[in-house]
Chains A and B, each alone.
Chain A
Amino acid sequence: MSVLYFPGCTLKNKAENFDQSFVSSMAGLGVDMKELDRWNCCGTVFSMASDDLMSQLAPIRNLLRAEQQGADALLAPCSMCYNTLARAKHFVAQEPDRLEKLHSFMYKEQGDYKGAVDVVHPLAYLRDSIGFDLVAKKVSRPLEGLKLGAYYGCLLTRPSIVSIDDPQKPEVMDKLINALGAESVYFEQRTECCGSYQTLTNLAVVANRTNMIIRSARTSGAQALVTSCPLCAYNLDQMQREARKHHSDLSPMPVFYFTELMALALGQDWKSEWTELHEVDPAGLLKEHGLD
Chain B
Amino acid sequence: MMATETKMVSMVVMGESFRVPEGSTIMSALEYSGFQLTTGVGCREGYCGACGTLYREHGDYKLKGGLACQTVVSDGMHIAQIPFVPADKPSYDLEELTPDEDSFKKIYPEIFRCVACNTCTKICPQDIQVMDYIQCIMRGDIATAADLSFDCLRCGLCALRCPAELVQYNAATLARRLYGRYLAKPAVRLDRMVEDIKAGKYDEEIESLKTMEHEELKDRYYKREVRTK
Q: Which listed residue (B122, B131, B139) contacts A13, Cβ 8 A?
A: B139
Residues of B within 8 A of A13 (CB): 100-101, 139-140
Inter-chain contact A106/B138, CB cutoff 8 Å: no
Pairs across A and B, CB under 8 Å, 24 listed: A9-B138, A9-B140, A12-B139, A12-B141, A13-B139, A13-B140, A38-B129, A39-B135, A40-B116, A40-B132, A41-B116, A43-B115, A43-B116, A54-B117, A54-B163, A57-B115, A57-B116, A57-B117, A57-B118, A105-B117, A108-B118, A108-B121, A108-B122, A109-B118
Residues of A within 8 A of B30 (CB): none
Inter-chain contact A61/B140, CB cutoff 8 Å: no
Q: Which label, helix, strand, loop or mixed, suits the secondary structure of the A interface?
A: loop
- C-beta contact mask, A30-56 vs B, less than 8 Å → 1, else 0? 000000001111010000000000110
Residues of A within 8 A of B129 (CB): 38
Give A contacts to B, CB under 8 Å.
9, 12-13, 38-41, 43, 54-55, 57-58, 61, 105-106, 108-109
Residues of B within 8 A of A57 (CB): 115-118
Residues of B within 8 A of A55 (CB): 115
Bound-complex Cα distance A40 to B163 (A): 17
Taking the closest CB of chain B, its distance from the CB of A110, in whole angstroms, is 12
Select the residue from B101, B118, B129, B163 with max chain A CB neighbours within 10 A: B118
Taking the closest CB of chain A, its distance from the CB of B107, in whole angstroms, is 17
B153 lies within 8 A of chain A by Cβ: no
Q: Which listed residue (B116, B140, B163) contacts A12, Cβ 8 A?
A: B140
Q: For the side of the interface on B, what is the size category? A: 10 to 19
Chain B's closest residue to A8 (CB) is B139
- C-beta contact mask, B56-96 vs A, less than 8 Å → 1, else 0? 00000000000000000000000000000000000000000
Inter-chain contact A40/B121, CB cutoff 8 Å: no
Bound-complex Cα distance A231 to B170 (A): 30
Bound-complex Cα distance A9 to B132 (A): 13
Bound-complex Cα distance A158 to B175 (A): 38
B114 lies within 8 A of chain A by Cβ: yes
- C-beta contact mask, B100-125 vs A, less than 8 Å → 1, else 0? 11000000000000111110011000
Select the residue from B116, B122, B135, B140 with max chain A CB neighbours within 10 A: B116
Residues of A within 8 A of B135 (CB): 39-41
Q: Which listed residue (B122, B131, B139) contacts A9, Cβ 8 A?
A: B139
Bound-complex Cα distance A54 to B117 (A): 7
Residues of A within 8 A of B118 (CB): 57, 61, 106, 108-109
Taking the closest CB of chain B, its distance from the CB of A113, in whole angstroms, is 14
Residues of A within 8 A of B121 (CB): 108
Residues of A within 8 A of B163 (CB): 54
Taking the closest CB of chain B, its distance from the CB of A8, in whole angstroms, is 8
Q: Do A58 and B115 contact each other (CB < 8 Å), given the known contacts A40-B131, A40-B132, A108-B121? A: yes
Bound-complex Cα distance A57 to B118 (A): 9
Inter-chain contact A41/B114, CB cutoff 8 Å: yes
Bound-complex Cα distance A38 to B129 (A): 10
Bound-complex Cα distance A13 to B142 (A): 12
Select the residue from B114, B115, B121, B129 with max chain A CB neighbours within 10 A: B115
Chain B's closest residue to A13 (CB) is B140
Taking the closest CB of chain A, its distance from the CB of B152, in whole angstroms, is 18
Q: Which listed residue (B100, B138, B141) contacts A41, Cβ 8 A?
A: B138
Residues of B within 8 A of A106 (CB): 118
Beyond A40-B135, A41-B116, 10 extra complex contacts between A and B, CB < 8 Å: A9-B139, A13-B100, A41-B139, A43-B116, A54-B115, A54-B117, A57-B117, A57-B118, A105-B117, A106-B118
Taking the closest CB of chain A, its distance from the CB of B111, in whole angstroms, is 11
Taking the closest CB of chain A, its distance from the CB of B105, in whole angstroms, is 11
Residues of A within 8 A of B114 (CB): 41
Bound-complex Cα distance A108 to B122 (A): 7
Residues of A within 8 A of B100 (CB): 13
Bound-complex Cα distance A54 to B114 (A): 11
Bound-complex Cα distance A13 to B118 (A): 23
Nearest first, the 8 closest Cβ-Cβ pairs linking A and B are A58-B116, A9-B139, A12-B139, A13-B140, A40-B116, A40-B135, A57-B117, A108-B122
Bound-complex Cα distance A214 to B132 (A): 39
Chain B's closest residue to A55 (CB) is B115
